[in-house]
Amino acid sequence: MTVLPVTALVVAKAPVPGLAKTRLAASIGATAAADIAAAALLDTLEAVASAPVERRVVAMTGDLNCASRGDEIRRSLADFTVLAQRGADFAERLANAHADASTGIPVLQIGMDTPQVSAELLAGCGRNLIGTDAVLGLAEDGGWWVLGVSRPSMADCLRTVPMSRPDTGAMTLAALRSDGVDVAMVDMLADFDTLDDVGVVRRECLPHSRFARATEAVRA
């Protein structure tokens, strides 16, 4: 498979019990929620490591020393350039991550809430990005799961977009277009934040995936 001149960027949070997936933790407990978050991150890193991209970067926040499966995550990160997130809020950290990861080639950014993502899907997004200013994939909850930009300045509009709302995806698209950015839409995916989301995402994962195994006992 041809290597794409794209940087794949994962914005991630160490899955520390009590700090990771707090909405899910309210239903199943902090340790179980952190274990599921760790599985999701590991599946995501595996997909990105297999994607035909030129560079792989993780913008990380949190302490892996206290995280579920921290040693396993560290081993997976050996295939990535790891940067510290910076910024006062999530929107600012996203925009800064795009800037920090950029080396002059397009940046395709995802999070760790869509463990069903595959190398093939990322490759398709990367190919679309090479032909346009930006790509955006909406999430079923109204947010978005992937944003690719050909120049990091295009992600600056995120600083003004309210995050974690049912209209975050629509507002992100509007902000990009307001700045004159040509946006190609890619596949919509489900992501997970609550117990109700877990089964939906599990059905989109391979049965042998870490996320599927970690959530076998979880029922909404």
Element (H, E) at 148: strand 144-149
Q: Give residue-wise pLDDT tens across range 70-109.
A: 999 999 999 999 999 999 999 999 999 999 999 999 999 9
pLDDT at 218: 82
Q: What is the pLDDT of residue 107?
A: 99
* Model confidence, pTM: 0.96
- Please give the C-alpha separations between residue 55 and each of 81, 125, 126, in angstroms, as whole numbers: 8, 15, 12
Homologous superfamily assigned to 4-212: Spore Coat Polysaccharide Biosynthesis Protein SpsA; Chain A (3.90.550.10)
Q: What is the pLDDT of residue 169?
A: 97
Task: Count CB neighbours of 169 within 10 A.
Answer: 22
User: So what's the pLDDT on residue 220?
Assistant: 53
Helix (H) or strand (E) holding 164: none
Tell me which residues of the chain have a pLDDT lower than 70: 219-220
Predicted pLDDT at 217: 83
Rounded Cα gap, residues 116 and 124, in angstroms: 15
Element (H, E) at 43: helix 30-50
